Structure formats: structure tokens, C-alpha cells
Structure 1
Amino acid sequence: MGVLRDHPELALFLCLAAGYLLGKLRVGPLTLGGICGTLIVALLLGAWTKVTVSDDVKTIFFALFIFALGYMAGPQFFAHLNRGSLRFFTLCLIEVVCVVGIALGLAGAFDLDVGTASGILAGAATESAVVGTATEAIGKLSGLTQQQIAQYQGHVATAYTVCYLFGLITIVIYTSQVMPMMLRINLRDASRELWEKMRGSGGGLEADEREALPGLVGRTFLVTHADGTTVADLEHRLGGRVTVEAVKRGSKVLTPPPPGFTLTLSDLVLTVGRRSHIIEAGRIIGPETPAVPGLDTPLATTQVSLTDKAAVGTSIDTLTREHPEFASGGVYVTDVLRGDQNLPATPETVLHRGDVLTLVGSRSGLGKLAAKIGATVRNDATDFIYLGLGIACGSLLGQVVVRFGDVPLSLGTGGGCLVSGLLFGWFRSRTQTFGAFPPQAATTLKDMGLAVFIACTGLVSGPQAWPLLKQYGALLPFAGIAMVLVPATVSLIVGRKLLKIEKPLLIGAIAGQQCSTPAITSVTQVAQSSVPMLGYTITYTLSNFLLPLTGPLLVGVLGA
């Protein structure tokens, strides 16, 4: 125990290891998750050892977490600020109003201190970021001693832990089991029907999914029907959708063949194009043959961020028709990445500004085309200039204090870095030629920042945990359940009766407004479809911005 006190870094990383191990335990569809597991271990270890960790450590790691969170969500957050997403934004406002209102009501009815009320809000809303923003805001309250500040910050962590457990169980069961019964639907059938209606819009794939039948293929054909046809005429007959990459005549291989080259019987032709067009090519050229040694040509790949204003809002089919370089250079769009979502590159897929298109084709053709429609993506190493500047700007923004009467409101370092992250992430997405922050690096920094912050909070808060549980033991589970059921039920009624949101999307959106990944996981398992994810991603992005700001708001009101 003395070793842990003398070396808090040992206790810190021990909490991470044991906490994430505890978080892997599964009961049915429920798992605690690494963050909640880390907090439980840290509270127990802190109560036993009374380890002290510098507040600066918490502040730095929380700033890293919240900036990375905002950076990753920024492009989608601003993309959802439109009329089409207004009805989903309404659900997020319902969540914010309900949880803040209930927290204030419980604080007044049961004479809760500011830390306990904030912890109840954070836990019941299953939003870990609120722990950080509320804890920081408590530290800035005037008229409190250091002992009171430490006590209230400890109450945040303890109340969060208890309410999180009950809130998590409630939202998972309510969305996946109860809501389909309330809406009188079979979630699996309803999701399938909705998907059939939406298929023409090119629905998205998960980050770890790929099409079973790739769109771009290469095939070799034996020339029979195309005897006497030039390469240019053949490509023209195929509508410019297929390119002839190589021709083998005897032992001679032409790569690429000249446009005026005339095909003769028994030539072997290598073509590249979309699967449906390649099938048509076989009818025009001749029978397909197995791969022929020596008859192959490498294709270059590059990622381009779409910035051409004329191309924004058009389909891939329109883009390729309006830019003849696609056909003449043998270039194809094989993937579309929007934020962290992979979309199928079908001809009907509509493109947005900042979409990352994967282009495949000849190296010379790629270079010319990339310069016309956008900018080549540079995302191989983190731009620490951009990262450092973003966190610095967020920290400065967090120091601004606005007073509403007697209530001082401040974003704090957490809220400031969240806003900064959103703006810097959105600005980067517009061209993606600067400010690189690879998704894997951003995810690692986000997870590590939150985990270390939570561990620090738990270690410091451990001694205050047991007295709070004895004082409010029965209230905390009740609060955790109520603060899930009330906003979720109101959202269900408003979303269906007034906003007319499709039922599978509405269930997913309610899981998203609660920022509950376990809930949407359970919902998609019941639905056996990813359709509810389409509603979840919108509200999840918006709530990830709005809910952390409720921490300083609640602390400011109660502290006054």
C-alpha cells in the first residue's frame, strides 16, 4: 500500500488494467465497459490506499479526451445542422431539458449537494464526459473551501458510478425490448421493410464491413465477337464504363494498348470496370478466361477529399459523366468515406463536401483527376501543430465567464476543448490537406485521455464514496432509472406522434440521444439489421456535444 502511495503512476495504470478487465465481464447483452470498470476499481483502490494524484494530470488528460471527441464528431455534427436533421435535434433537446430538470428537481427535493446532483446527471445520462466538465466547474466555484471542493468532486464520481449501472441496464432493456412492444412492431421485420425502401439511397456499411461482391473488378476475355474492333471503339460501345488495360497477342503484351489498336481473333484482353459493365463486356468481346500470367497491370490508388463545389450534392454516376477523365484515364471510385462511415460507391450514392473518395486507376490519370475534383488526403501522421493549437484555443475559450444574473457560466477547459475540437475537426474535413489526425490515433488519444481522467477521479474520490452511499443509497438507483425513462418516453411520444420518425430509426435515435453504445448494440442485435444505426448516429453526435455542456450549467445554477 505504501508503494502505491509513493508511486501514484503505479496505482493509475493498475486501475486501467484491472478496470478494463472488469469491464469485459458480460451478463446477457450487458457489459460494464472499460470506463465504468476503471472507475469502480479506482474508487475501491482509492478508499483503501488514499492515493493522491495531481489535479493537473486530470486536467491535461481530460483536455486530450474531449478535444479528440470533438475533432472526430465535428464533420458529422455540422453536417447534421440542417432541416433534414431538425427532428432528431429535437430529441436531443428533450434529453438535455429532461435530465437537467430532473437533476435540479432532485437537488431541491432531497437537498443534494452540487457534486451528487452532477454525478446523478452524468451517470443516468451514461455520458462520461459530464463527469469531467462538472468536476472542473465545481473546482471553480467561489466560496468553497478546498476540503468542500474535494468532497463534492468525490460525490460526482460515486453518484455517477451507481447511476450509470442502473441507467445502462434501463436504457438497454427499454430500447431493445420494451419500445418495440409499445410501438407494436416486430423490430426485425420493420427494419427490413424500411431498408427495402431506403436501398436506392445507398445505405452505409459499418466500419468493419465491406461489400461481399466488390464493385470494381478486372477480367480477361478471349476475342471472338470483337474481331476487327479497335480498342477505342470497344470502350465507346461499353459507354466508357470499361477500360482495356492490356492486350496479349501471342507472346507480346501491350500495356496499355493504343486507342487505334485493332483486336483480332484469339487476342487476350484485360478489362477493368464495374461488375455489371464487365458482364456486358464479355458479351461483346468473347468468352472469359482464367487469369493469364504476364497479362496484368498494376493500378494505383489514392484518396481524394471532395472539394469541387459543382460535384457536391451530385451522384457518383453524374460525377463520372461530367468528368471525361474518368473514362479516358480508366479511373474508378471504389469507396466513399464520410466521417468514420464507409458508404458503398454505387452510381446512386450522393456525395457531400469532405467525402473521401478512393480512386483506382492509372497513375497519370489519377493525378489529373484528383486535382480537378478535390485534394489528395494527407493522413499518414498526426499534425501536432494543428493538434496543439486546437487544444490551446479550447483552453482559452474555456476561461471565458458569462454571467446570467447571479449565475456565472463557463465552458471550462473541457467545454472549451469540445467546441474547439468540433470546429478544428470540421475545418480539417473541408480539404483534409492539413491538420492530419489519423482515426486510429484520435481514437487512442480519446480512450486513453478519458480512462486516465476517470482513474484519477476515482482514486481521489474513493474516501468519500462510502459515506455518500450510506446517505443516498436508495435515491441513486431510483434517479438513474427515472432519468432514463422520462426523456426516453417523452422522445418516443414526440418522435412518433409529432415528428413522424420511422419506428426503427426512432428507437435507434433514442439510444443515440442517451449516448449509449450498449443500447444500440442490443437494438441492432434484436433487429438483425443496422437500420436503427441511421437514427443513432445523428443523435449520438449531437448529444455528445450538448450533454457535456450540462455539467457546467447544472453546477453554475446550483452553485449560485
Structure 2
Amino acid sequence: MDFLRHLFANQPLIALFATIAIGYLVGRIKVGSFVLGGVAGTLLVGVIIGQLGVNIDPGIKTIFFALFIYAVGFQGGPQFFHALNLRSLNQLVSAFVMCFTGLLCVIAGAWMFGLDRGMAAGLAAGGLTQSAILGTAGDAISKLGLSPAITKTMQTNVAVGYAVCYIFGSLGPIIMVTWFFPMIMKWDIRKEAVKLAKELSGGKAELEPGQFNAVNDIITRVYEVTRDRTAIGRTTLELDRQFSDASVEGVFRAGKMVEMNDTTTIELGDAVAMTGRLDAFKLSDTVFGREIASPPGFSIVEENRGIILTNRVLSGRQISEIHDHATIDTRHGVFLTAAKRMGRDLPLLSKLQLKTGDELHFTGSPSDLDRVQSKIGYKISAAVVTDFIFFGLGMIVGTLIGMLAFKIWGVPISIGSGGGCLLSGLLFGWLRSVHPRFAALPIGASTFLRDFGLAVFVGVVGIGAGPQALTAIEHYGVTLLLLGVAVTLIPQIVTFFFSYFVLRIKNPIEALSCVAGGRSANPAFAALLAKAGNGTPVVSFTVTYAVANVFLTLWGPVIVGIITKNAGP
């Protein structure tokens, strides 16, 4: 033990990285379907290692939290601003009701049981499972002008409250979304998900997990053009119009590939490669002739390409509507294979509404994809590098916003650099979605900043809280645990019935998704996805999740401003 104490005193970064590594290892341990998660694991391990008296420069915590919260805002910016419209109004209101009810529960609990500012903020962070409150509340506490001892105690209490309340804060939404609400409403989640998917797909049946619809797979087949077939003398574009959801991708003639364009004419004896969905090949034998194996030297170069949707004309429109209104001259040879929103796979169904910032994946030849890309948005490329000019500007703007102070009902509020960087990230993320030439921050880079920034921040918080954490837990433990249960459950119950009866969110999958998203409860969402067996919960979850991430994060300084009790020295 003395060796570790000496090592950590001389090299505190070793203590930090040991906290992160062990914390994420602990976070992987499963108890039934419950997983603690790397963030909570890191905090708990940090508290233990902090008992050795490790001192880490608090500037590290500030920098990495700013990077984390900016990345969160940047990734959620397009979806957050898109949610601010009439189409998503009921889901937007549902998310705000969840966040606001949670805030009221925290304030009421703090006043009734005499919690100080730090412990109240920790109650919010753990009970509402929003790790970002650790940073925004801690930042707000540091600006109160109190003595270093009191400031340190309250910042420790934020971490303690989070640690005590987090486990049920994470488990509670899973219970409510996958068992309690479906039980009292007599809903079968799987049946409701199948029903919703059938509606969104225009009546097509939803398959069970492990099954797949081979008819919808994109395939390539080769046909030999024989005598008296209708393809002879016709151009490739004319054939594409006839097949609609299949296209001519290559022509092999007299032992070599034909340089092909839309006016290339098919001749007797040609080997023609068709690419498309299986159900589009019904007339192939009549049009071309018999199917054959690919001739030696016959190759078709196709590409899988991701494109970010930025064309506002397409935003809010259904996949089937876009498909039916696009001319064959535009869409031939290009096939939509997947869609993602905020990093989550969307159910690729005909009535799915696409939104600005969605990530669409297509298969087709490079030239065909180039044609379609110009009408949709910009290409997701591994070659894209971070635009450090706009990244630096974004961090500057966020820090400046954090310096602003204002009053709500006479209560002084300052959102701090954390809240400022969140708002700045939202703004620059939205800017990137509508003006692709600016503010590039590749998804891999932003995800690393988000995850590593939070890991470092929580590790430093845990280590710093170590010496005082046990005392605070001993003093507040049972009371705080019960308050955490109330803060976890009450907002969900209020919001569910308000959304169902007032906002008229009647669809079971959408109603449950709004509860999980309004809590920004990723474990509950994962459990709901598993119960649903398909991707139907994703659409409603992403809207409410984006909104909740903003408001819950901003509650940190609001709680510190409203609660007036300070911790003892």
C-alpha cells in the first residue's frame, strides 16, 4: 500500500489511468440484465483510489469535461434543432415535462431533507442518470465565492450523491419501461412493435429475431441475351425504367467489358449484369434470356457509401414518398441499405420519415452514387479531418457563453463553461449539418472526445472525492438512497400518463420510447429494443433523448442557484 501511495503521489496520472481501466472493467460486470457501466464504475473505483490521498491538477478535470460536453452537443445538434418543430411538438413537450418534473422532485427533496447544493446536484445526477450534471454543478459551485474547504466539500457531495443514487437511477427506468407500464396498460411490447413496423412498412409483416427477408436483399445476376428477347436494341436507361428497382450495371460483349452509359444499346449475345432487389427480377428471363454464371473477366465495381442528409426539401418526408417522386433518371442504380440517427440504426421502413442530419447508406456504382449524393447531402469519408479552426472557435464561444450570468425569478444563474460548451456544440453541430464545408468533426473523433473526456473527468472527480466520500455516505446514505428512488420513479410516472392522456401519445412503443428518451436512459432504451425485437423505438427515442440531454445538463447550475444551503466546513 505504501508503494502505491508513493507511486501515485509522484505520478498521479498513473492513478488516473488505473482508475479508468479498472472502473470500466468493473462496469462490465453483469448482474442479471443490469450492467453498472463504465462511468459509474470509474467513479466508484476513483473514490477507492482517492483514499490514498492522490492529488490531480483540477485543470485536467475542467478541460476534459469541456471536451466531453462539446462533443455531446455537436453530435446531438442536428437532431435537437430538428425537434423544435410542430411535427415533433408532442414528443418535445413530453421530454421537457420529464426533465422539469425531475427538477421539481430534486428541489423538493433537497428542501424537505436539508440537502446542501452539492448533495442536491448529486441527487439529480444519479437519480436522473445524467453524468454531465457532475460537471455543470461542480463548475457552478466553484463560482459561488465560498471558502475552498466548503467548495471542496460540496463538490465531493455531488459525486457522492451521484454514486449513491445512480444504481437505482439506471435500473428504475428499465423496470418501468419494460415491465411496470406495459403491465398496467396490458401491452405486449413485441406485438406492439411488430404492429408498428407493419404500419410503417405499408402492411409488410415484421419478422421474428434471427429471420431476414431475402426478397429485399440487393443482389447481382448475369443474363445472356438470346434471340427474340425484348432487351435487344434497347438502351440501358430504358431497361432501368422498366425494372424500376433494378438496373443494368455492366455489359460484357465479345470477351470484354463495354464502356457503358445511359445510351448503351443491348445486342444479341451480350452478357448483362443486373443489380437490384430480388422481386425486381421477375421479368428477367423474358427481357434478356437465361441466367448464366459470370464470364471470366466480367467484374462489376460497386461502392457502399454513407451520405449525411442536408437537403431540407427531403427532411420530414417518408422513404416511400421520396422513392416514388424521384425519377428513374435520378435514382437508377442506387439502393438505400441502412439509415442511422444519432448513431442508432433506424428501421428501414417505407413510412419512416427522414430528418436533417440522418446518416443514409447506399449501394451502387461510384458514378451513380455521385449523382444521387449531390441531391441528398455530403459524403461520409474516412478522409475527413477535424476542422480545428471551427473546433477552436466552438470552444471559445462555449467558454464565453459560460461566463454569462442571469437571474430566473430572482435566482442568480450561471451555466458555466460546461453548459456554455454544450450550447456551443449544439450550434456548431447544427452548422455542420446544413453547411458541410464547415466545422468538420468526424464521428470517430467526436465519439472519442465524448467518451474519453467523460472517463477522465469522472476519474478525477472520484479520486478528488475519495477522502470525504465515506463520511458523506455515512451521514446521508439511506435518506439519499430513498430520495434517489423517488427522483427516479416520480417523473416517469407523471410524464407517462401526461403524455398518454394529454399529449395523446397513444402508440405503446412511442410512449415507452419517450419515457426512456426523456430520461436520457440508455440502459432502459437498450432493454426496450431487446423487448421490441426491432428498431421501432429508435425514432421517438432520438427526439426526446436529444432534448433531455440539453435540459438535464443545464439543471446542474439551476439547482446550485435555487438551493441556498451550503455544506459545513
Common fold: TM-score over 0.5: yes
Structure 2 equivalent of residue 452 of structure 1: 456
Which of 494, 519, 542 lines up with 2:547 in the alignment? 542
Q: Is the 8 A contact 1:38 1:454 kept in 2?
A: yes
| 1:131 has 2:134 as partner | yes
Alignment of 1:232-381 (within 5 A): 232=235, 235=239, 238=242, 241-256=245-260, 259=263, 261-264=265-268, 266-300=269-303, 302-314=305-317, 322=326, 325-326=329-330, 330-343=333-346, 350-358=353-361, 360-367=363-370, 370-371=373-374, 373-377=376-380, 380-381=384-385
Structure 2 equivalent of residue 529 of structure 1: 534
Distance 1:314 1:199 in 2: 14
Q: Is the 8 A contact 1:306 1:352 kept in 2?
A: yes
Higher mean alpha-carbon deviation, 12-21 vs 75-84, is at 75-84
CA apart distance, 1:544:
0.6
Q: Is the 8 A contact 1:12 1:455 kept in 2?
A: yes
Q: Indicate the RMSD between aligned Cα atoms, in angstroms.
A: 3.0
CA apart distance, 1:518:
1.4
SS at match of 1:44: helix
Equivalent position amino acid for 2:388 in 1: F
Q: Is the 8 A contact 1:244 1:256 kept in 2?
A: no
Higher mean alpha-carbon deviation, 148-157 vs 169-178, is at 169-178
Seen in structure 2, the aligned counterparts of structure 1 residues 244 and 111 have a Cα distance that, compared at 3 Å, is: closer
Seen in structure 2, the aligned counterparts of structure 1 residues 287 and 349 have a Cα distance that, compared at 3 Å, is: farther
Question: What are the ranges of 5 or more consecutive residues in structure 1 without an aligned counterpart?
Answer: none
Structure 2 equivalent of residue 558 of structure 1: 563
Structure 1 equivalent of residue 161 of structure 2: 159
Distance 1:352 1:528 in 2: 24
Seen in structure 2, the aligned counterparts of structure 1 residues 304 and 198 have a Cα distance that, compared at 3 Å, is: closer
Q: Is the 8 A contact 1:354 1:431 kept in 2?
A: no
> So what's the TM-score if we normalise by structure 2?
0.89
Equivalent position amino acid for 1:447 in 2: D
Higher mean alpha-carbon deviation, 196-205 vs 330-339, is at 196-205
CA apart distance, 1:317:
6.2
Structure 1 equivalent of residue 101 of structure 2: 98
| 1:30 has 2:34 as partner | yes
- Deviation digits for residues 496-535 of structure 1 (CA, Å, limit 9, x no counterpart): 2222221222122212222211112222323333333333
Q: Is the 8 A contact 1:300 1:363 kept in 2?
A: yes
Structure 2 equivalent of residue 498 of structure 1: 502
Structure 2 equivalent of residue 17 of structure 1: 21
Q: Is the 8 A contact 1:203 1:344 kept in 2?
A: no
Distance 1:555 1:350 in 2: 40
Higher mean alpha-carbon deviation, 169-178 vs 71-80, is at 169-178
- Deviation digits for residues 173-207 of structure 1 (CA, Å, limit 9, x no counterpart): 222221211111222222222222222399999xx
- Deviation digits for residues 334-367 of structure 1 (CA, Å, limit 9, x no counterpart): 5444442445777766544444544554545554
Equivalent position amino acid for 2:183 in 1: M
CA apart distance, 1:26:
0.5
SS at match of 2:563: helix
SS at match of 1:434: coil
CA apart distance, 1:552:
0.3
- Deviation digits for residues 24-63 of structure 1 (CA, Å, limit 9, x no counterpart): 11001101100000000101111x2111112211110000
Distance 1:199 1:62 in 2: 42
Distance 1:357 1:405 in 2: 45
Distance 1:204 1:57 in 2: 50
Q: Is the 8 A contact 1:313 1:352 kept in 2?
A: yes
Q: Is the 8 A contact 1:335 1:357 kept in 2?
A: yes
- Deviation digits for residues 132-175 of structure 1 (CA, Å, limit 9, x no counterpart): 11111011113x10000001100110111011112222222222
Distance 1:52 1:131 in 2: 19
> So what's the TM-score if we normalise by structure 1?
0.90
CA apart distance, 1:308:
4.4
Q: Is the 8 A contact 1:115 1:153 kept in 2?
A: yes
Q: Is the 8 A contact 2:516 2:524 kept in 1?
A: yes
Q: Is the 8 A contact 1:377 1:432 kept in 2?
A: no
Question: What are the ranges of 5 or more consecutive residues in structure 2 without an aligned counterpart?
Answer: none
Seen in structure 2, the aligned counterparts of structure 1 residues 522 and 294 have a Cα distance that, compared at 3 Å, is: same
Aligned residues: 553
SS at match of 1:193: helix
Q: Is the 8 A contact 1:378 1:433 kept in 2?
A: no
Which of 457, 477, 481 lines up with 2:481 in the alignment? 477
- Deviation digits for residues 61-98 of structure 1 (CA, Å, limit 9, x no counterpart): 00000000111111111111122322222222222222
CA apart distance, 1:537:
2.0
Structure 2 equivalent of residue 443 of structure 1: 447
Q: Is the 8 A contact 1:238 1:281 kept in 2?
A: no
Distance 1:140 1:127 in 2: 21
Distance 1:122 1:7 in 2: 30
- Deviation digits for residues 382-426 of structure 1 (CA, Å, limit 9, x no counterpart): 222222221111111100011346521111011000011111111
Q: Is the 8 A contact 1:248 1:268 kept in 2?
A: yes
| 1:429 has 2:433 as partner | yes
Distance 2:465 2:62 in 1: 15
Equivalent position amino acid for 2:424 in 1: S
SS at match of 1:200: coil
Distance 2:190 2:366 in 1: 45
SS at match of 2:202: helix
Distance 1:440 1:196 in 2: 34
| 1:398 has 2:402 as partner | yes
Identity of paired residues, percent? 34
CA apart distance, 1:491:
1.3
